[in-house]
Structure 1
Amino acid sequence: MNPLLLDFPTSFTTERLTIRMPHPGDGQVVYDALTRSRAELKDWLPFAQKEQTLEETEANMRRAHAKFLNREDLRLLIFHKENGTFIGSSGLHRMNWDVPKFEIGYWCDAAFSGKGYMTEAVQGIAHFAFTELHANRIEIRCDALNKKSRAIPERLSFQLEGILHNEALSVDGKSLRDTCIYAKVKA
């Protein structure tokens, strides 16, 4: 299957959210959220290790837009449906279009953490992957110590298929970490 020939929506909604592909010009809202949230994100995400400039963030959004169109990576930005406030970023990554299978990654603006937005977004993205992209498998991988990240697949009935011990370095490169693999498969 040639994924470039697949037509599917570039945005969708859930009860409280609008979830869409990145567009040129999204750099500012993402930059602002990263700046506010760096302290919370830096223990878990490589891109949060150093402060990015607005220009770097905008360039990243434009690359994400191009990758989405080329079906190489499907980054998705999450906005509040009523007021358009940026809440976080997610997407379908490390894709295998032959299966098809996808990995969901996510991060939330610290100002919106703990309100159920990311759980709602991941549930919506999983539904999108199963219905629009005909996924047979969706994975969520996260550091075993990241309790907030682990809570999302557990709330959404993803199965913990295993823990890969000493599988990765911590994002600061100072220690070995275990990686949890959660999955949901097509019913």
Structure 2
Amino acid sequence: MNPILLDVPMQLETERLILRAPHQTGDGIMVNEAIRNSFNELRAWLPFAQELPSVEETEINLRKAHISFLKRDSFRFLIFHKDTNDFIGTTSLQGIDWDVPKCEVGYWINTRYSGCGYMTEAVEEIVTMGLNQIKFRRIEIRCESTNYKSRSIPEKLGFVLEGTLRNDELSADGTRLTDTCFYSIIK
């Protein structure tokens, strides 16, 4: 089946969260604010967070994510608290290989919501959707070996650590080599 014909929900719901595709004009303002509030933490791990983006750049990025969602190239979701509607972060199914089919999970959290289990809850929901609705046969999570907060998510969700690739990538700031942990869950 051509992936464009897949019926992928634009919104998911968990006990505490709403995950929705970035399709609303103006999402860039709140996402940009969260990036600014979390910049020091994000900068340590994410290449995209080496410089503060403008609100316009964030809005453009989200509109491109919406297009990618519709084209079935990746599935990004914005995460909101169900009771307060506060923006918590993003998670996505990305790096999709439809031939296998498989993908990778990406995520980042607004620092003020870190440590509450929200990201684990959100990732669990999109992984469940990916395995059961989209029918991925393999879902990966890759993260730097020293990013223990990020590593705790696949470990809590039953992913298997397949290995650590030594000197695999440059650090987010491009100044040193880092090791990458590969986790997966299969169906």
Give the TM bin, normalised by the shorter chain. over 0.9
In the other structure, the counterpart of 1:95 is 96
In the other structure, the counterpart of 1:6 is 6
- Distance in 2 (alpha carbons) for counterparts of 1:98 and 1:11: 25
Q: Name structure 1 gaps, 5 residues minimum.
A: none
In the other structure, the counterpart of 1:74 is 75
Question: Identity of counterpart residues, as a percentage?
Answer: 53
Letter of the 1:14 partner, please give it: T
Q: Deviations over 1:100-143 (max 9, x none)?
A: 11100100000100000001011111111011101111100000
Letter of the 2:89 partner, please give it: G
- Distance in 2 (alpha carbons) for counterparts of 1:13 and 1:154: 22
The CA deviation at 1:72 is 1.1
The CA deviation at 1:171 is 1.1
- Distance in 2 (alpha carbons) for counterparts of 1:98 and 1:16: 34
TM-score by length of 1: 0.97
- Distance in 2 (alpha carbons) for counterparts of 1:75 and 1:9: 11
In the other structure, the counterpart of 2:183 is 182
Structure 1 window deviating more from structure 2 (95-104 vs 156-165): it is: 95-104
Letter of the 1:151 partner, please give it: S
- Distance in 1 (alpha carbons) for counterparts of 2:8 and 2:66: 15
The CA deviation at 1:172 is 1.0
Q: Deviations over 1:34-86 (max 9, x none)?
A: 00000011010011100110111111111111111111111111111112111
| SS of residue matched to 1:42 | helix
For residues 34-183 of structure 1, the aligned pairs below 5 Å read: 34-183=35-184
The CA deviation at 1:5 is 1.2
Q: Name structure 2 gaps, 5 residues minimum.
A: none
Letter of the 1:107 partner, please give it: W
Letter of the 1:33 partner, please give it: A
Superposed CA RMSD in Å reads 0.8
- Distance in 2 (alpha carbons) for counterparts of 1:120 and 1:109: 15
Q: How many residues align?
A: 186
The CA deviation at 1:98 is 2.0
- Distance in 2 (alpha carbons) for counterparts of 1:168 and 1:176: 6
Q: Deviations over 1:8-41 (max 9, x none)?
A: 2111101101111111321011001000000011
TM-score by length of 2: 0.97
In the other structure, the counterpart of 2:21 is 21
- Distance in 1 (alpha carbons) for counterparts of 2:92 and 2:106: 6
The CA deviation at 1:157 is 1.1
Letter of the 1:64 partner, please give it: A
- Distance in 1 (alpha carbons) for counterparts of 2:20 and 2:82: 11
